[in-house]
Structures are given as structure tokens and as C-alpha cells.
Structure 1
């Protein structure tokens, strides 16, 4: 089982604290809240309860959660690592609708980047819907660069942009 990520760098910790956001590794007792957050955050392409359960127990996945207290999840992130690869993949980043614009995505993204670096990844990749302007702004603001486009990537036929960040 992967170890808990160390604390965020001071600047990111300060920003997250100002927003009242704490990021930690998810545990099995978060499962109901993760599924509920997934349902509230996405209209389609959702992770199932079984998928979350599998990722929580996987050495090749890291599930992080953001909360303002220990009971209310404001966001989550799922990060994948492939054995023998220096590329990590941010598979999902969800922010509760009522928490958007409050630093939750920023805190989760900072924790994801830190975790990928600690695992020795040299790059972090992700896909995002071409119509998700808020997520695109978040990724670009944090140093991700557009590297491609996938036609009909999502289950509803929407296209995706591919983004990448070199980790140094």
C-alpha cells in the first residue's frame, strides 16, 4: 500500500488553509462520500463504487480527498502510476458544485503534482473535456500545456484535450 503523501509545500499549504481545505489520502471509510461526490460532480463518465474500492487498495493508484472537516468531502483526485513508466496520469479531479471557486481544485492539483514527483514521475498527463473552461483554466494556470486532442473521447461523444506538465 502506498504511503501517505508528505505535507504540501508551505506556500500551497497556506493557500489551502486560507480556503479551509485539507488534502489527505483517501481511506475505505470515505467510499460512500466519494461515490456521492462523483454523482454530484459529473453528469457522465463516473467512477463506480467498485472502481473506487479497487483504486483505494491499489499500489498503482492514489486517491486523494479534500475536505473542510473530516466529514464533508469537497473534492477528490485519482492519480495513476504505471510500473516502469515515468509518466503519471491524473485520471479524475472532482470538486463539489457548492465548493467550486474556493481553492479546492488548486489544493488537490498541488497535492497530485507533489505525489507524482515523490513517486519519481517525470511528467503528469491528463485529459479534460474541451468544453470545461474552468478546468482548462485551472490546469493552464498551474503549468499544464495542451499536447493533443482526442475526438469523441467521452461517453457522450465530447472531445478531450490532452494536457501535460513536465515535473522537474
Structure 2
């Protein structure tokens, strides 16, 4: 998988994660109500060529969000596996910046589309994805560990 672009601004940056980010990613994962990644999963995603972890850092270099995306070898599809933004950093476009950085990296890696699953009751995430051009293509009854319904979303990606 190609390297993610580093998107820097006065408000912080998006960079590719490394094994040094395990604790920060796990702290963000603890914010999920269910379906949290384990330490082993995070370590694997930070190490394998078919996954990429993007890290959002604020201007003080504090980790305020992350996104994990996957691509099967030989596939032209990218799958957003997880997006988390710290509550203190919400409303600052970190989720949007993470998704856009993923789309750029996925397009550069030859992906033609991106997909993801989102909780049906997560109105904020659904609004963000709709704003970015993702469309709901499937309802997933009882998809999450706690029995909540999910939605599968899809977006065609522009080739870089």
C-alpha cells in the first residue's frame, strides 16, 4: 500500500501511523460503545501491507483521531474499517480530513471505490459520509456486537 499523504496545516496534520501510535489508537478505540479493536488488531493493522492507519494530530502534536483502512491484495476496493475522533476535537473537521486523506491514498494505490459500514443510529457520521459523496447501498440488521443495525456505504473514487 502506498504511503498516505501528509496533510499539514496550522491546525495540525494527518500522517501515517506507526507502532509508536498503539496506545493513542487504543485510547481512541475505548470511546466506541462496542466493536472495539484489540491491541493485537491495532498492532496488526499498523504492520501489514494490506492495512493503513492514518493519525490526526492537532497543532500541539496530540493524537485527536485515527482512521484504519484496508485493501485486499489485487483488489480495487478500499474499505474504511474504523474512524474515531476524540470528543474534544469534534467539530474541527478531523473526520472529514481523515476520510479525504484515505481517499487520496486509496486512489493512488489504484482503488476505484471505497466502502464502509456505519451504525444506523450514528447521525453525525452518516451526515459526514453523505457530505463526502458516500451513498447507502445496504441495510445490515443486527450488524454490531450490541445488536444495533448497520448501513453499508459506497463511493466511487477518482483515479489520481
Distance 1:44 1:72 in 2: 24
- Look up the SS of the partner of 1:75 in the other structure: strand
- 1:67 aligned to 2:57? yes
Q: How far is 1:98 from its partner?
A: 1.0
Q: Which residue of the partner structure matches residue 114 of structure 1?
A: 104
Q: How far is 1:6 from its partner?
A: 2.9
The structure richer in helix per residue is 1
Unaligned runs of 5+ in 1: none
Whether the 8 Å contact between 1:37 and 1:75 is mirrored in structure 2 is yes
Alpha-carbon deviations, 1:84-132, whole Å to 9, x = none? 2111100000000111111110110111111110110110000000000
After TM superposition, the structure 1 = structure 2 runs for residues 9-48 of structure 1, keeping only pairs within 5 Å, are 17=9, 20-39=11-30, 41-48=31-38
- Look up the SS of the partner of 1:54 in the other structure: helix
Whether the 8 Å contact between 2:136 and 2:152 is mirrored in structure 1 is yes
Distance 2:60 2:93 in 1: 17
Whether the 8 Å contact between 1:77 and 1:108 is mirrored in structure 2 is yes
Equivalent residues, number: 158
Q: Which residue of the partner structure matches residue 144 of structure 2?
A: 154
Is the alpha carbon distance of 1:139 and 1:68 closer, same or farther for their aligned partners in structure 2, counting shifts above 3 Å? same
Q: How far is 1:70 from its partner?
A: 6.4
Distance 1:130 1:158 in 2: 8
Q: Which residue of the partner structure matches residue 73 of structure 2?
A: 83
Unaligned runs of 5+ in 2: none
Is the alpha carbon distance of 1:70 and 1:80 closer, same or farther for their aligned partners in structure 2, counting shifts above 3 Å? farther
Q: Which residue of the partner structure matches residue 3 of structure 2?
A: 4
Distance 1:26 1:57 in 2: 10
Distance 1:136 1:78 in 2: 17
